[in-house]
Structure 1
Amino acid sequence: MTRRTTGQALRLAALATLLAGSLPAAAESHAGRGDGLPGASIESLLDYARTRNPELAAMRYEAEAAGERVAPAGALPDPKFRAELRDITRMGEQKATLSPSQVGSTKYLLMQDLPWYGKRDLRREIAEQEAEGAKGRAHGTWSEIAGRLKAAHAQRYYVQRNAELAQEILDLMGRLEKVAQARYAGGLAAQQDVIRAQVEQTAMRNELLALENERHHLQARVNALLARPAQAPLADAERLRPLPAPARLDAAALEDRLRAKNPQLFAADAQIRAAEKGRELAYKNRYPDFTVGVSPIQYQSSVREWELMVELNIPLQQSSRRAQERESEAMLAAARARKEATSWQLLGELSENLGGIDTARRSELLASNQLLPQAETSFRAALAGYENGKVDFATLLDAQRQIRQAKQNRLKAQVEAQLRLAEIERLLGEEL
């Protein structure tokens, strides 16, 4: 191979490397289109999980069950009926009998328990707040599942694009190996150049194996969230979601949305309201509950007497009731403190993720606008130097690695921004 031919081959290899940055975008439109399979977009994963995830279904059923407790909580207790057969031997004149018409008399008693005024309403309101808390927990469960799916989708995208980049470098190193062999055969390069190219290819193959293993783990993780077998096929992740405009990531506005929409804070508010009603109920227990009843009395075959009765419990155990009241006060204070602690923690996480998404955005711009063009310029210079015998093969490899590192940095920044966005939406409990 002549020196001119060698230079042309090297230029073709360099062109393949410099154009590699555009290949992932093209691959997005053709990668693994599994018709009917979830996974191509995050929307397909969320739609699938929304109707099939068993954890979410369990939380929804629990919320439904909590809602059904409201009516019984405010209802009156079931009435009680009692029948008394009195003087069943008629003063010893007959054998014992259970016939109401043959005993001395039969007393029927119908009773109804009546709680003190307002207690039923408080019990119903407590049940309503507990049902609201269950709804908040169900919504929080969905936010957690959606967040994990969004993170897994971004990681699948990263692994797939990183594997494509590694394959491109492997193909390039195969071409460079042939060029190095030709130069070695012509006495223009050392055998070490060929060996270095082979070592690089082996390293790329090993990295592809590691990426394939990671891709398998991510597939199993996503399928678990979708309630599918671990080995069930998924469509390739074709794209990442566009990031919201910086104006939509205003910290003060998002803090207000977090306080108003976060499922954990929503459930905490419901718990506070339930604790307040529980405290009121504890103080209502200072007053007695009643039982009223009506009693017809039967002699032989006719009812000849009627009685009315009223019964009430006497709240004499004051120490016990005061302890219950102090318990309700402590539970209310605990609910308020728990909400405050949760609020500060969530606000801290929001601030951390807002900073992270801003850093990732700037890192992507730095990699795209400065680092990658600089690395490509360095590679072209190294290529020209190697062609002229002024630069060794190791320098050329280092320049090639810089291009790959710049592309990986850009990809990492894109995925990091997606992970931060998923966390922000999990905290808000809704999409941005």
Structure 2
Amino acid sequence: MKEDHRIKNIEYPTLNGMGRKSSALFAKPLHALRLIALLGIIALPFTVQAQTIAEYQQQAAKNNPELKAEYQHYLSALEESPIVGALPDPEVAFAYFISPIETRLGPQKARISLTQMFPWFGSLSDKRSISEAQAKAQYEVFQETRNRLFYQTEKALIELYELDQSLEIANENLDILNSLVEISLSRYETDQASQVDVLRAQIEQEDLKTQIALLEDNRNVLIQKVNELLNAEEEQVIALPDTLIPEMSIESEPELLSQLVQQNPSINRLKYQEDSAREMKTLAVKDGKPSFGVGLDYIFTGERSDVPTLADNGKDAIMARASFKIPLFRKKYNAKVQQAELNIQSVQSQITNKENKLETDLSSSLRDYYDARRRFDLYDQKQIQRVNQALSILTQNYSTDSSNFEEILRMQRKLLGYQLSRIQALVDMQVSSAYIDYLTGKNNINLNK
């Protein structure tokens, strides 16, 4: 299986660098520069150890019952070829003459017959080809199920990463709001701020606590979903990748379209079904040809007692036989050929429809990917920096003028929204890239290796 090309050793700004301060520290009035330092959410970049989600995908593939069922179905389909490609069983018959038939050499008492039928030349080979094509189509069903499981596992892990990052951001912003509550209380006690400032900070504080509680509940549900995909016997501790790549490179749309047409399991399954339908048409033509059989009869003959000196007296008889099955009534054979031709046309139409649908899905995924990348660049390189600058100015002014406290809270709320939106954009990029891999069959297993 290919390695995950989206999880690497990179340098990426995280939110882990800022230590949390106790609320007691902010019980006293703070200098404006101390609050500015606290509002500097983004710490210096540092290198993190890369992790891959490939192990989780492999675990899911190993344990998933639906995938196991599809693989067993494929193995079952492989056993069909020797069944349909074998000659019909020979027939052995035994006959006993209740009234023996008198012949010159003696009475015939019993007969053993052996008969083997043969279809028209090449019919068995066509049946094996049909079975092999159907087995390959079933393998593509297994491969499609496996790729979908890989995508679902990766998507769930990415969403879990998003929740963890969002919780970290929200808790760090809650620390800031706690400090703002303490500052407003301190300034209110010294008549430097109004009680409204205190209430506004407390309102923002409680709203964020509610949001954090929802994020924690969502995380618990998502952990259950991941364990369901992994089919773990006991709830497993999920070790997520440390970070995601903000700048991911993907192939051009023409290259991806080519990969989609050649590698997508759903399309390949229909192509194998088309091969099977063509072989069925060839077989239908041969079914309209005669089939034949060969046989051998061994007849037990008793001795004549009235002529004991007769040459070959009581000699058993051996008889070779040949038989033909003549397809005289042509209507049903012509209908079988026409039926096979209609099946070919039906599968061809399904292939065209599937290709069109998947190409549309690919275009939509590329649109989502590029949109997420633009949003990430906007939040990461412009909006967050601008909001931080605005917060710094507002905080400095607040030390001398308490009239802009509401604007500080509004800007703090906007900073939180941009930070969460940046994580969302990064995750959307990763999910879109994973879905493109799913469409183009990047995780296919090559049976020739």
Residue in structure 1 matching 2:94, options 58, 65, 83:
83
Residue in structure 1 matching 2:429, options 412, 417, 431:
417
1:16 paired with 2:38, answer yes
In 1, distance between residues paired with 2:74 and 2:52? 30
Residue in structure 2 matching 1:63, options 74, 80, 96:
74
More displaced stretch, 288-297 vs 159-168: 288-297
Which residue is 2:194 aligned to? 190
Which residue is 2:11 aligned to? none
Residue in structure 1 matching 2:226, options 222, 227, 242:
222
Q: Encode CA deviations 1:241-282: one digit per residue, 9 max, x unaligned.
A: 57542xx42111111111111111111111111111011111
In 2, distance between residues paired with 1:243 and 1:78? 65
Indicate the percent of aligned positions where both proteins have the same amino acid.
24
TM-score (ref. length: structure 2): 0.84
Which residue identity does 2:29 align to in structure 1? T
Q: Is the 8 A contact 2:192 2:402 kept in 1?
A: no
Post-superposition offset of 1:104: 5.1
Post-superposition offset of 1:29: 6.7
In 2, distance between residues paired with 1:273 and 1:355? 35
Q: Encode CA deviations 1:209-264: one digit per residue, 9 max, x unaligned.
A: 1111211221121111111257443234533357542xx42111111111111111
Which residue identity does 1:21 align to in structure 2? I
Q: 1:195 to 1:372 in 2, by over 3 A?
A: same
Which residue is 2:239 aligned to? 235
Alignment of 1:263-278 (within 5 A): 263-278=265-280
Larger helix fraction of residues: 1
TM-score (ref. length: structure 1): 0.87
Which residue is 2:381 aligned to? 369
Q: 1:243 to 1:83 in 2, by over 3 A?
A: farther
Post-superposition offset of 1:299: 2.4
Q: Encode CA deviations 1:108-157: one digit per residue, 9 max, x unaligned.
A: 11111201111111101101111111121111111100111111111111
Q: Is the 8 A contact 2:147 2:443 kept in 1?
A: no
Q: Is the 8 A contact 2:126 2:283 kept in 1?
A: yes
More displaced stretch, 59-68 vs 149-158: 59-68
Residue in structure 1 matching 2:58, options 37, 42, 47:
47
Which residue is 2:158 aligned to? 154
In 2, distance between residues paired with 1:186 and 1:311? 116
**5+ residue gaps in structure 2?**
1-27, 102-106, 304-313, 445-449
Which residue is 1:181 aligned to? 185
Number of residues paired by the alignment?
405
In 2, distance between residues paired with 1:418 and 1:154? 8
In 1, distance between residues paired with 2:81 and 2:403? 81
**5+ residue gaps in structure 1?**
31-39, 92-102
Alignment of 1:241-252 (within 5 A): 244-245=248-249, 248-252=250-254
Which residue identity does 2:81 align to in structure 1? V
Which residue is 2:259 aligned to? 257
Q: Encode CA deviations 1:344-366: one digit per residue, 9 max, x unaligned.
A: 11111111111221121121111
In 2, distance between residues paired with 1:286 and 1:176? 90
In 1, distance between residues paired with 2:372 and 2:209? 29
Q: Is the 8 A contact 1:116 1:288 kept in 2?
A: yes
Alignment of 1:344-383 (within 5 A): 344-383=356-395
1:404 paired with 2:409, answer no
Which residue identity does 1:158 align to in structure 2? E
In 1, distance between residues paired with 2:343 and 2:64? 34
Q: Is the 8 A contact 1:249 1:354 kept in 2?
A: no
Computed over aligned residues only, the root mean square deviation of the Cα atoms, in angstroms, reads 2.6
Which residue identity does 2:416 align to in structure 1? R
Which residue identity does 1:215 align to in structure 2? R
In 1, distance between residues paired with 2:379 and 2:362? 26
In 1, distance between residues paired with 2:245 and 2:401? 46
Q: 1:78 to 1:387 in 2, by over 3 A?
A: same
1:168 paired with 2:190, answer no
1:338 paired with 2:336, answer no
More displaced stretch, 382-391 vs 322-331: 382-391
In 2, distance between residues paired with 1:59 and 1:162? 38
Which residue is 2:310 aligned to? none
In 2, distance between residues paired with 1:206 and 1:113? 80
More displaced stretch, 301-310 vs 188-197: 301-310
Q: 1:282 to 1:304 in 2, by over 3 A?
A: same
Q: Is the 8 A contact 1:41 1:240 kept in 2?
A: no
Tell me the secondary structure at the aligned position of residue 359 of structure 2: helix
Which residue is 2:208 aligned to? 204
Which residue identity does 2:238 align to in structure 1? L
